[in-house]
Structure 1
Amino acid sequence: MKKRNVHGHLGFTLIEVMVVVAIIGIIAAIAYPSYMEYVRKSNRAEAKVVLNDVAQRLQRCFTAYSVYNDGACTVAGAISGGNTIDSEHGYYSIAGVLTPTTFVLTATAVSGTPQAGDKHCTTLSLDQAGKRDATGSNITECW
């Protein structure tokens, strides 16, 4: 509400300005965490894409060499022995545990990225049978 001061100028009182600042602060405090959760949820798609891509490449290795961990299979070397493959935007790193007849791929959020704060789905994993798994506080929504 605009009021005239003693000199006839229109303006806002300090109380009115502080009420507006408080309202904006409350809205921001509610909206920002919701927005960041939405961003993290959409970024999980990147982990799913990379996990499925690596799994398909390992299946091709199994078809060609009859084992998942053959030395001629480049993807097997890229994810075993402590090596990892990074996702396209670097939000996740993919590691694998390979045996001749099985594999388990795990996508872990990289620290320093928005995904590092994803407590609902800390890791995503996929095995040779297509079984999907996750760790975190709300794993039912991860896949």
Structure 2
Amino acid sequence: MNKSNVSGFTLVELMIIIALIAILVTLSYPSYEAFMRRVHMEEAKASIMVKARDMERLYASKRTFTDSSSPATDPVDTEYFTIDFAPGSPKADSYEIIAKPKNPRETQALYYNSIGILSRCNASTMQDCEQY
């Protein structure tokens, strides 16, 4: 009698591996999503800092923040945030920059003022701010 050795995985073993992979993906996705939110916030922070630097250069040359002909006063559109001035800003001696998320599920926005304070706020109300 000739007995052949068949090697391989059974269907049950493959299903167990697939179930383990699904569990690992389910557990790791929230961490990945939180990481990507932090990355997007850091990108918005960098864009705010560039805009603030441009505003400081404008003030150094014109002695005012309200020169509407300067590109420093234009809004900046990134992939995930719209960076613009707060309502009523810029004024002659100060400015406030807000980075509002484009994604309606994103709950946090960034706020920066000419004093140099960067805060993370509730995106819908711009309240409940904490220093970032």
TM-score range relative to shorter protein:
0.7 to 0.9
AA of the residue aligned to 2:112: L
Superposition CA RMSD, Å: 2.8
**Measured at CA, do residues 71 and 11 of structure 1 come closer, stay the same or move farther in structure 2, by a change above 3 Å?**
closer
Normalising by structure 1, what TM-score? 0.70
Unaligned segments of structure 1, at least 5 residues:
1-6, 79-83
Structure 1 residue aligned with 2:90: 98
Structure 2: gaps of 5 or more residues: 124-128
- Evaluate the alpha carbon distance shift between residue 71 and residue 95 of structure 1 in structure 2; reply closer, same or farther with a 3 A threshold: closer
The percent identity for this pair of structures is: 21
Could you give the per-residue CA deviations for residues 82-139 of structure 1, whole angstroms, max 9, x where no partner exists?
Answer: xx2123xx2221010312222110112223xxxx6544xx2111100001111249x7
Q: Which has the higher contact order (CA 8 A, sep 6+)?
A: 1
38, 49, 54: which one pairs with 2:51? 54
Correspondence 1:128-139 to 2 at 5 A = 128-136=114-122
State how 1:36-51 maps to structure 2 within 5 Å.
36-51=33-48
Instruction: Provide the TM-score with structure 2 as the length reference.
Output: 0.75
CA distance in 1 between partners of 2:13 and 2:71 (Å): 65
**Match for residue 127 of structure 1?**
113
**One-letter amino acid matched to 2:98:** T
Q: Does 1:86 align with 2:77?
A: yes
Q: What is the CA–CA distance in structure 1 between the aligned matches of 2:8 and 2:55, rounded to whole Å?
A: 69
